[in-house]
Amino acid sequence: MKILDARELTARFKGRGGPFGGHGDDVRALDSVSFSLDAGESLAVIGESGSGKTTLLRAILGLIPVSSGSVELFGGNIAAMSGDERLAARRRCGYVLQDPYSSLPPTLSVRDAVMEPWSVVHGRARGSADSRAEALLAEMKLPEDLWNVRVRYSLSGGQRQRVAVARALMLGPELLLCDEPTAMQDVSTRQEVLGVLERRVADGMAMIMVTHDLLLAHRAAKRGIVLHKGVIVDAGDTAELLRNPSHNYTKSLLAALPRI
């Protein structure tokens, strides 16, 4: 089943201009980006900061306008959908933002923060929602003594990231968009988080994993695209990207990896 089809996706933004103000030249955050994604498939989007990775995720959900091209999400053009149709499509997706400090509601408890998407869609009845949230928190290996503390207190960055992943999985998304979801994890918890995501993909969820790390891309996805200044400069099997990168930019990413 086709989940996503991006065709010649281009997004431009106004530059900041020179030292005396003005609009400046247009900046191409995305330039003719094309790829597709099926159910049960994972894709890594690889590149450094400013390469267009986060812009791509936002364009997929219709959160920013695109200059040209199209995004077919669950068989419908996201730009042509009505407001209700777009909302329904987004509810079939999970989105893990890069910054867990700004993306989680600080006044809620950890358990309630995970349950909040369910409450928005299905109402505030507890019961099964509590059980689902607790199962996700346990799967994410978050200590039970943290479930009832407010997000604002007592959580490290890595713990917040695990809460954010659990929250994104609460509605059982068909497509999960992850923006550097393990950046604050240590080695052991990173493997645990990736294991949770791998199991969901094996069960049929599609996933896009944004990362600057080629090794993490290989661990998280079988297929990858490398973005540089909004352009796909390399693409293919992530193992092959590690073994034999074809573009100099991909080679520079590989060279930056720590040697063990």
Task: Kindly report, residue by residue over 89-120, the tens digit of the pLDDT.
Answer: 999 999 999 999 989 999 999 999 999 999 88
Mean pLDDT of 14-24: 51
Q: What is the mean pLDDT of the chain?
A: 91
- Cite the beta strand spans of 15-125 per DSSP E: 26-38, 42-46, 68-73, 76-77, 93-96
As a whole number of angstroms, the distance between CA 153 and CA 164 comes to 15
As a whole number of angstroms, the distance between CA 166 and CA 213 comes to 22
What's the pLDDT score for residue 207? 98
What's the pLDDT score for residue 129? 87
Using 50, 70 and 90 to split pLDDT, how confident is the model at 219? very high
What's the pLDDT score for residue 170? 96
Which amino acid type is present at position 49? S
Residue range 121-147, pLDDT digits in tens: 887 666 788 899 999 999 999 999 999
DSSP string, 171-231: T--SEEEEESTTTT--HHHHHHHHHHHHHHHHTT-EEEEEES-HHHHHHH-SEEEEEETTE
Residue range 20-53, pLDDT digits in tens: 344 556 788 999 999 999 999 999 999 999 999 9
129: Cβ contacts below 8 Å, ≥ 6 apart: 115, 118, 119, 122
Joined tokens for residue 76: 């419908």
Using 50, 70 and 90 to split pLDDT, how confident is the model at 152? confident
Does residue 182 register a pLDDT over 90?
yes
Provide the b/e sequence for 148-167 (b: ≥16 CB within 10 Å). eeebeeebeebbbbbbbbbb
Which amino acid type is present at position 184? M
Note whether 43 and 35 are within 8 A (CB). yes
Mean pLDDT of 226-252: 94
Note whether 233 and 257 are within 8 A (CB). no
Poorest-pLDDT segment among 14-23, 170-179, 198-207: 14-23
What's the pLDDT score for residue 21? 44
Note whether 4 and 62 are within 8 A (CB). no
Domains of the chain: 100-172 (1.10.8)
